[in-house]
Amino acid sequence: MKKVAVLLTVMLVFSSASYAQFKSQLSDGSSVDNSLFRSNDNGGGSLFSFFNPANFSMHQSISMNYMTLGSQSLSLATYTNSMSYRISQPLTLSADVSVMSSPYNTLGNSFSKSISGIYLTRAELNYHPTKDFSVDVQFNQNPLYRYFNPYMYYGPMGW
């Protein structure tokens, strides 16, 4: 009888010790959520940890214009979304996406259809490693430039 009591006591002691061993492993909180959304040193967490929302900024603007050229007139509404992402400390990527519409003009319905749409008006890559040195690569697109180019003369035939 003493042997059975000692055996039960030893089993209880080992089983409680083994439970404590597994308890510390459970408290680390590993899950699929934690492996996809990791917080990094900058304080932001993101999906797959390659995009940090703290480095992203976005601004919107809207403009409404009206102009006349002789006997012709044009109204133009533009919504622009400017986005910027700091890839690293000296490297920044920026872009402007614009939605244009010409609700009223005397140039015709085909002009309205050709000018209305979504445009990538600016894309820019800026590299500023020091205060006195920078490299900027920029793409600009102005949809109205093809119609109102000040350096080209369109005669009565349109050429």
> pLDDT for 53-66, tens place per residue?
888 999 999 999 99
In this prediction, residue 49 carries a pLDDT of 58
pLDDT digits over 72-82, tens only?
A: 888 889 999 99
The number of helices, as runs of H, and strands, as runs of E, in the chain is: 3, 7
In this prediction, the residues of the chain whose per-residue pLDDT falls under 70 are 12-50, 145-159
In this prediction, residue 30 carries a pLDDT of 54
CA distance 91 to 68: 42
Residue 12 within any structural domain of the chain: no
Q: Give the total number of structural domains in the chain.
A: 1
In this prediction, residue 81 carries a pLDDT of 95
DSSP codes of every residue in 80-97: EEEEEEEEETTEEEEEEE
pTM over 0.85: no
**Please, which residues have CB within 8 angstroms of residue 100's CB and are 6 or more apart in sequence?**
76, 77, 78, 115, 116, 117, 119, 143
Write out the residue range of the structural domain in which residue 95 sits. Answer: 54-146
